[in-house]
Amino acid sequence: MVKIIFIALWSLISLFADESNAVKAMKLAQKGERIVKVMCEQSTLPHAAGNIETIEKEILSSGSCKHLSPDKLEAVAYYLQQGSIKENSQHLAVPDDAKCPVCGMFVSKYPKWAAMMKHDGKVYYFDGVKDMMKYYIFDGDFPYDRSHISEMVVSDYYTIDEIPAKEAFYVLDADVFGPMGHELIAFKDKKSAQTFMAEHHGKKIVRFGEITGKMLMALDGIVQ
């Protein structure tokens, strides 16, 4: 009972924190759009890929915007990142009304973290790899025939491209939080995962078959 209460409280805290971050990102993107129109050469702006820090470096390297303060540079980076998400045609298309079967959150709000599973003719969407793996591993909580799974897909953190879940590289427990807190963050190649882990203090890189229930519980702060 104590574990269940802890998980519920953590999920609630994570929900409010993520919604706050989403509002901040939206406001900064709107500010960035105004700055770009006034202070930047739009034709030479870089194509956004990666996290905010990476995009900021690309903006400075491009020389597209002159005399940006750190606050304005951050806003432009958020604007480019949001535009990249909208324009990317390879990311997982999540219906607006799709809810994660593990936590109940609307998945379309979190395209960078979205994951998907198909089994028994149905499609299930998740707001992060961690919740999808809970649905996959914890057969007592989620009873269904695992042999009927026909597809599992995750989203690359940098590009938001779809990746077959069993081909991805996952960074465990970095200092970047997903919608449900600590996460398994997916990448399509090992080099990207290594770069992210070095920048964001990840614990280690794991493959699909190495993910365990104990690992998932530890991400929620529950040590067995």
Q: What is the pLDDT of residue 26?
A: 78
Q: What is the pLDDT of residue 38?
A: 86
Cα–Cα distance, 211 to 55 (Å, whole number): 31
- Backbone φ, ψ for residue 83 (5° rounding): -65, -35
Amino acid in position 5:
I
Q: What is the pLDDT of residue 9?
A: 43
Q: What is the pLDDT of residue 92?
A: 87
Please state the domain extents for the chain. 2-87, 107-219
pTM above 0.75, yes or no: no
Q: What is the pLDDT of residue 158?
A: 84
Given a contact cutoff of 8 angstroms between Cβ atoms, the answer to whether 7 and 222 are in contact is yes
Cα–Cα distance, 119 to 106 (Å, whole number): 20
Given a contact cutoff of 8 angstroms between Cβ atoms, the answer to whether 127 and 105 are in contact is yes
Per DSSP, helices labelled H in 40-161 are 52-62, 70-87, 129-137
Residue 125: CB atoms within 10 A of its CB come to: 22
| Mean pLDDT, 10 residues at a time, the chain of 224 residues | 44 44 78 88 78 89 89 90 60 91 94 94 96 97 96 91 95 92 94 91 95 95 79
Q: What is the pLDDT of residue 7?
A: 44
